[in-house]
Amino acid sequence: MAERFTVTYLVIAADEREARQRALDIALEQTVEIPRDVVPAGYVEDEILGKLEDLKPDAEGRPGFLATISYSEDDIGGDFLQLLNIVFGNSSIKPGIKVEDIGLSPGILAICPGPRHGIEGLRARAGIGRVPLLMSAIKPVGLSTAALARLAHDFALGGMHYVKDDHGLVDQKTSPFAERLRACVDAVGEANAKSGGRASFVPNITGPAGAIVERALMAAEAGAGAVMLAPAMTGYDIVRTLAAHPDFTLPIVSHPAFSGANVVSPTSGFSHRSFFGTLHRLMGADAAIYPNYGGRFGFSRAECQSIARACAADLHGLKPIVPAPGGGVNFDRIPDMRDAYGPDVMYLVGGALLQQPDLVSACRRLADAVEGRSA
């Protein structure tokens, strides 16, 4: 028998009998996908068919049960997307099933070496100790490369550790990718020369399927400090591919665009922690951007904290990564965020800084605020 890994699902059901039937259906759907009465005896039934290992009422009081199902590593076939398919492929389409937690096994770790850098690597690159990381984004789409590079300069001069492209910046005619990359790396370098800082530029490499690795290598060659992409659009395996690529060694920042449907419903998709924490570490992302609580998105404070915990929790030796809450983060919210996240976090602040009359000093006030220094 091969090693088995587990997935725990929240299964919405009126009673244990219904929950058990739904869980057995998941075990079938996610593996053999044929009626139970024609599952071939022997290897397929004994090894490949999912096994219901545990079923109990939900501890959080949601109207359902937690079903833990084990699957064989043989079914993964060394393929990360097949792992995702086993975890949630067809069952993602059934209402009232949510992936709560994924329990790894050795074979998964062989496919997924995980983040190369993690939070410590991102801090080392920025030359800082155990304090929060700061990231901002140049935007909006439609500005010229010169204007965007000027923003990158000012963010870096103000003390942001990572200055990323807005996730909507790709290869628009107003600021083509290669031109923007060069100009922003230069602008951040110029700011570093003035400040003695070690800020990095982070281009968005979300793009045509055939261009992503090429842009990643261009970014490294040009002197970028990390790259960003949105795996719900680019596909999840490209992150893993880059994190294990022999010629590419930069950190990877993941953006949540288009992933919302995976986490927006309380009774379908993934738990916040399994999606932004476990899956992102398996993919090899070093930083996971997600919408912060209390802003214009709907995540709760507790959900965001669960993401942060999953980014840091022991996970079979995979490096801890940095949770990067963004979306409506402004100065007023910093004190509560300090309380919620502690130091192991990356503050992603964009619009709130752009609203300030002087961008450089606004960045400095932000840096003071996140470390609890009075301005």
Residues pairing with 102 in the sheet = 7
- Please list the helix, strand and coil fractions of the chain in percent, rounded to the nearest 5, in that order: 45, 20, 35
User: Hey, which residues between 219 and 238 contact its own copies (CB under 8 A)?
Assistant: 230-231, 233-238
**By CB under 8 A, residue 179 contacts its own copies:** no
How far, in Å, CA of 98 to CA of 65, rounded?
A: 11
Q: Is the dihedral of CA 57, 60, 61, 64 positive or negative?
A: negative
Q: Which is nearer to its own copies, 25 or 120 (CB)?
A: 25
# chain residues binding its own copies, by CB under 8 A? 86
User: Hey, which residues between 17 and 36 contact its own copies (CB under 8 A)?
Assistant: 25, 29, 31-35
Among the listed ranges 38-46, 58-66, 113-121, 153-161, the one in contact with its own copies (CB under 8 A) is 38-46
User: Hey, which residues between 117 and 146 contact its own copies (CB under 8 A)?
Assistant: 139-143
Structure tokens belonging to residue 318: 């995979």
**By CB under 8 A, residue 209 contacts its own copies:** yes
Contact in structure between 346 and 135 (CB atoms under 8 Å):
yes
**By CB under 8 A, residue 260 contacts its own copies:** yes
Contact in structure between 321 and 285 (CB atoms under 8 Å):
yes
Give the type of residue at 147. A
Q: How far is the CB of 98 from its own copies (least distance, A)?
A: 10
- Answer for which of 217, 222, 354, 360 binds its own copies (CB under 8 A) is 354
Distance in Å from the first CA to the final CA of the chain: 61
CB atoms within 10 A of CB 176: 12
- Answer for which of 100, 154, 165, 166 binds its own copies (CB under 8 A) is 166
**By CB under 8 A, residue 106 contacts its own copies:** no
**By CB under 8 A, residue 284 contacts its own copies:** no
Q: How far is the CB of 130 from its own copies (least distance, A)?
A: 30
Structure tokens belonging to residue 11: 């299964």
User: Hey, which residues between 75 and 94 contact its own copies (CB under 8 A)?
Assistant: 75-82, 84-86, 88-94
Counting Cβ atoms within 10 Å, is residue 130 exposed (0-12), middle (13-18) or buried (19+)?
exposed
Give the type of residue at 119. I
How far, in Å, CA of 55 to CA of 277, rounded?
A: 24
User: Hey, which residues between 287 and 346 contact its own copies (CB under 8 A)?
Assistant: 291, 296-298, 327
Among the listed ranges 52-60, 154-162, 172-180, 300-308, the one in contact with its own copies (CB under 8 A) is 172-180
Binding characters for its own copies, 264-283, by CB under 8 A (x = yes) = xx--xx--------------
Q: How far is the CB of 306 from its own copies (least distance, A)?
A: 16
